[in-house]
Each structure stands twice: as C-alpha cells, then as structure tokens.
Amino acid sequence: MRAQENVGSADVLAGRERYVARGIATPALVVARAEGARIWDVEGREYLDFAGGIGCVNLGHRYPTVVEAIHAQVDRYLHQCFMVGNYEPYVQLCERLAGLSPCKGSEQKSILLNSGAEAIENAVKIARAATGRGAVVVFERGFHGRTLLTLSMTEKTTYKAGFGPFAPEVYRVPAPYPYRGVSSNDAIAALERLFKAEVDPRSVACAVLEPVQGEGGFIPMPPEYPGRLQDLLDAHGILFVADEVQSGVGRTGRMWAVEHYGLEPDLLVAGKSLGGGLPLASVTGRAELMDAPSPGGLGGTFGGNPVACAAALATLDALEEVLPDMPALGHRIRGRLELIAPSGSDVRGLGPMLAIELAEQTPDRASAIVTAARERGLVLLTCGLYGNVIRLHVPLTISDDDLEAGLQLLEDAIAH
C-alpha cells in the first residue's frame, strides 16, 4: 500500500483483501475524511452518512465541542488505567451518568468499559453477584455483542456459526413483534411458560432487553410491554437490564429509550455514541447492585479511557441541547419514509430511530437498495434477522437540506 496521501480505493481494498481477516464484512467504501453528516472517500467522493459507524456518532462526525474536549484531554494525559490511579474525567462521567440515570434507586453508580459487549458482560456479572443467581433471560432477535457470553445472548447464526459451544444458562423467549404477529400478550405468556417449563425463576439473575431492538430490526417494544415485563420480573426478584447500547445516548430523541416507557430498569447499559466516536461503554445502576462485586472483581486495562471520558462529557452536554428538537426530526423522517416505503412494508421506530422493514424475508432487496443508495452518495445499513430492514442512523444535528437530500437519495434507491 502507498502512503496515505496518495492512496486510492483500489490500494486499500487490495490491502484489506490481503491482510485483514474476511470475518469482518465491509462494503467497498474507503473513507478518507468525515465531518457532520458527511463522509468523503479517498477519491474525494462525498456521501451523506445515515449509518454513523453503526450509531456511534449521534451528533454527527467530529462534533466541534467533542473534538475540542478530546484535544484538551490529549494534551493532559492519554491513559492511566483506573486500576492504577484515579482520574477526574472517569469520576466526572460516572457522576454525570448518575444524574442522567433512569434506573431505580436514589444513589446511582457506574463502571466504564470499552465496548457494548464488555459492558453487557459486566452487567450480567453484577446481576449475578447481586442476586447470587446464575441464569439470564434474553429475547428473540436480541443483539448483545460478539464475546462468548454476549454471543450466547445474541440471536442470528451469521454471528454464531462455528463459534460454539456457547455459555450455559441463557434462556431465550419471544419479544413482541407486531408486524409479524407477536403481541405483548404472546411475549408475556412465553416468559411465564419459560418459568414453568424450563427454568426456575428463583435461579434467574436478570433479563436483558433492548427497549428498541437494534440489529434485530429496529423494533420498538409496544408501549405497555416493558412495564408488564418489569412487573413479572420484580415478582420473582429478577433484575431488569436495559441494553441501550444502540437505542441510548439520544438516538430515540430522549437520552434513554426507556424514558419513553416511563420505565425504571435495575441496570442500564450504554455504549456506541456515548464516547462521541471513541470507544466507551457503561453500566449504571443503584449503589447496592453496582457495589455487589468485591473490589478487584470488576475492571479492565482501558475501560474508561480519559480521552473517551472527556469526549463523552462533551457529547452528553451537546445532546442535552439538541434533544428538544428531536420529536420534530423523528416526525419528519417518519412522514417521508411512510411515503416512500414499498407497499406492504413496515415503517417503524421511536423518535429519529427509524427503519423500513420490507415484506419479503430475504436480504436481497434491502441490500440492493443499500448498494444503490451508496452509488448515489448515501451510506446506509440494513439489519434484522433476515437482513430485510433498512435502518437510519440520521445524525441528530443534520440540517434540513441535508436531511431532504439524504431522504431523496433513499427514495431514488428504492425506486431503482
């Protein structure tokens, strides 16, 4: 490969083919620069970005106050390891997360990690330590990460093939999916049956739910379901873990998607956009749960890196300013999707976390639309068990003109 300033897409793609493991699937896009709602490839071609690195830059690329905070922290120190010495950005961010926490209890604490999967693993560890129980309940189409425990909790053979045996004591039940005929009643009945038939609820530590399923197809839980689930879990002393790695940090127009449901989970897991583009994730909950593991029981070399914490503090500040405009943004995108969605498909989501599920349960048409969009200058992603859902991670800071241009490109790609 040539030096970066002379490089062309073909060089990078050839290098990728030769040196990078094929298990990571990537389209042919080669990024040179990104700003706000835009990406430029190495040939200088401009794209609108409705993927946001899979939901990791909810404010758009290189949000100015986030970049400033990163620069300021880079000039102080890069890495300490919180197991070697305390540092202020880590403590400040945990204080901030406590203030923003929707979880039960007055005194909130957090731990910071590197990735969503690592944070989910830690949430399960904390739930097990706090309850003295081992089993974990998860939901159909859930995605919680690619480490052994989280992959065991995740559903889709594309991610799982060849990687077993998986972790024991993970039980999966249906989640509501109105478009495909699964109601809240069905989902609650399935959980009640699980507790009768397969696992004693007294041995279940936690249930882990995405309030809006992300990789599984951008499926918001019906309004009444999370509350009903919580009542059932509470009755058995089972902790409710909200996986807000994809739905959190403003994606649904509130800081946390559970706020739309008036729900108070026991633990909340955040990731992706929390670090404003840097790797960072968190687990937050009431002190008595968070302090269940003994000193030394939790940790990690890089978790809560100071630069990522500084970026997160700036991200949360900026989001609080942006969030009041989000109902209007969500409304506008939804209205347009309803006009352009192919007949029989489902337009759904919560706030600006929106998607179109195509009626046919094969990936072909959705991936053709995503490819056609990219050829026209719009970066998009699919999701869903069958890969037939087109999801939008529109930057929450997008201008009206850019939004209109992006949605027009999507319309053209669908028409094509």
Residue from 89, 201, 214, 349 touching ligand PLP (CB under 6 A): that is 214
Among residues 133 and 272, whose Cβ is nearest to ligand PLP? 272
281 near 145, Cβ under 8 Å?
no
Per-residue contact string for residues 39-68; x = within reach of ligand PLP by CB under 6 A: ---------------x--------------
Select the span of 34-42, 137-145, 217-225, 226-234 touching ligand PLP (CB under 6 A).
137-145
Residue with tokens 């830690």: 122
Residue 88, token pair as written in the block = 């202020």
Select the span of 18-26, 111-119, 324-332, 390-398 touching ligand PLP (CB under 6 A).
111-119
In angstroms, rounded to a whole number, what is the distance separating the alpha carbons of residues 365 and 190? 32
Residue 116 as a binder of ligand PLP (CB under 6 A): the answer is yes
Residue 138, token pair as written in the block = 């998860």
- Tell me how far, at minimum, the Cβ of 217 lies from ligand PLP, in Å: 12
Residue 155 as a binder of ligand PLP (CB under 6 A): the answer is no
Residue 210 as a binder of ligand PLP (CB under 6 A): the answer is yes
Residue from 66, 117, 263, 316 touching ligand PLP (CB under 6 A): that is 117
Residue 216 as a binder of ligand PLP (CB under 6 A): the answer is no
3-state percent helix, strand, coil for the chain, nearest multiple of 5: 40, 20, 40
Strand partners, 170: 136
Work out the number of other CB atoms within 10 angstroms of the CB of residue 115. Answer: 21
Instruction: Tell me the number of residues near ligand PLP by CB under 6 A.
Output: 15
Please tell me the total number of residues recorded for the chain in this structure: 416
Among residues 396 and 403, whose Cβ is nearest to ligand PLP? 396
276 near 63, Cβ under 8 Å?
yes
Q: CA 11, 391, 258 angle in degrees (round to 5)? A: 125
In angstroms, rounded to a whole number, what is the distance separating the alpha carbons of residues 342 and 264? 37
- Tell me how far, at minimum, the Cβ of 29 lies from ligand PLP, in Å: 19
In angstroms, rounded to a whole number, what is the distance separating the alpha carbons of residues 247 and 103? 16
Residue nearest to ligand PLP (CB): 116
Residue 121 as a binder of ligand PLP (CB under 6 A): the answer is no
Residue 246 as a binder of ligand PLP (CB under 6 A): the answer is yes
Residue with tokens 């529109």: 394
- Tell me how far, at minimum, the Cβ of 397 lies from ligand PLP, in Å: 21
Residue 122 as a binder of ligand PLP (CB under 6 A): the answer is no
Q: CA 407, 330, 182 angle in degrees (round to 5)? A: 100
Q: Which residues bind ligand PLP (CB under 6 A)?
A: 54, 115-117, 120, 143-145, 210, 214-215, 243, 245-246, 271
